[in-house]
Copies of this chain bind each other. A is one copy, B any other.
Amino acid sequence: VKMVHNGIEYGLMQLLAETYDMLCRGLDMSEPELHEVFEDWNAGELSSYLVEITADIFAEVDGITGRPLIDMILDEARQKGTGKWTSQDAMELQIPTPTIDIGVVMRNMSAFKSERQDANRLYGDSIQKYTGDRSKFLEILHEAFYAAMITTYAQGFNLLQGASLAYKFDLNLATVARIWRGGCIIRSALLDEIRDVFTSDPKLPNMILDRDLGGKVISRTEALREVVSNAFSLGIPMPAMAATLSYLDAYRSVWLPANLIQAQRDYFGSHTYERIDERGLFHTEWHQSN
């Protein structure tokens, strides 16, 4: 449970970092403006310890240079490994947690600073400024962040539910939400709603399937879509936001193109496939063009 806590923490921290990047490089915001945005966000439905300390961080002044301290900190993230274990374990249990995985991946990417400098010297970067309506975009970012925040918890609780089944832990997810709400790095107002969801349906596999809480995510999907599409066109990497949106699009999709993967596996390795119209395992002697 502690490990999954840290996985959710990695996901949320990456979402906050990407949002900061968009506000900073995309919208040219100064530290006092950044402080205000996150202070404002913390006063509403995003209320949480990580948003709160992010607001504090942008207000901190460096004692040595007198500049905002954040600007003096090296952009290479370290880790103690607990987020990584969550992603590794999720892969073991075959449960998708892409937002958490990207949190791990991007810490690793950040640490390759000298390679990034080499690539930048060779190719430059492709970053552009946002030129649309800033205050409207800020509202959209807020909506998108909320959807991504809920989805990150959803992936973590989905993993807990799966681990509980696989290892016969018999976890009470409402209790987990209550304990995390009390005092830990991912404490947030949202955990009250999550506790309610699992109190009324303890075996719910994924909280996206709760009509109230999941509905809040789905109604904000278009905001997420707008943020992600702006991020890609501006060249600002927001991979956790993007992975979250793909996760939601795929989760709502009755059909996914995995039939091709099964066909390929049967073609090259005779791994067999299932059919949509009949039970059982099937194998085809595929016609080869060459």
Cβ of A17 to closest chain B Cβ, rounded Å: 4
Interface of chain A, helix or strand or loop or mixed?
A: helix
Known A126-B249, A242-B232: A74·B274 in contact at CB below 8 Å: yes
Which of B71, B91, B214, B249 meets A235, CB within 8 Å? B249
How far does the Cβ of A152 sit from chain B's closest Cβ, in whole Å? Answer: 14
Q: Residues of B contacting A104 with CB < 8 Å?
A: 91
- Complex: how many Å from CA A287 to CA B214? 36
Central interface residue in A106, A233, A287, by most chain B CB within 10 Å = A106
Number of copies: 2
Q: Which of A116-149 contact B (CB under 8 A)?
A: 116-120, 122-127
Taken residue by residue from 38 to 56, chain A's Cβ proximity to chain B (1 for < 8 Å, 0 otherwise) reads as 0100000000011011111
Could you say which of B75, B126, B259 contacts A221, with CB atoms under 8 Å apart? Answer: B126
A122, B211: Cβ atoms under 8 Å?
yes
| A contact residues, total (Cβ < 8 Å) | 122
- CB–CB A247/B109 < 8 A: yes
Instruction: Please name all residues of chain B whose beta carbon is closer than 8 Å to the beta carbon of A180 when the two chains form the complex.
Output: none
A85 smallest CB distance to B (angstroms): 9
Give A13 to B257 CA distance when docked, in angstroms. 10
Map CB proximity to B onto A204-228 as digits: 1 under 8 Å, 0 otherwise.
0110110100110010010001001
Besides A79-B94, A98-B239, 12 new A-B residue pairs in contact (Cβ under 8 A), listed by A number? A50-B264, A52-B290, A53-B267, A57-B286, A70-B259, A72-B277, A73-B274, A73-B275, A73-B276, A94-B108, A116-B250, A119-B209
24 contacts between A and B (CB under 8 A): A17-B260, A53-B286, A54-B264, A57-B263, A64-B277, A74-B274, A74-B276, A75-B257, A76-B262, A77-B258, A79-B94, A84-B91, A84-B92, A88-B88, A91-B104, A96-B109, A107-B258, A109-B247, A116-B256, A225-B232, A228-B242, A232-B245, A237-B253, A239-B242
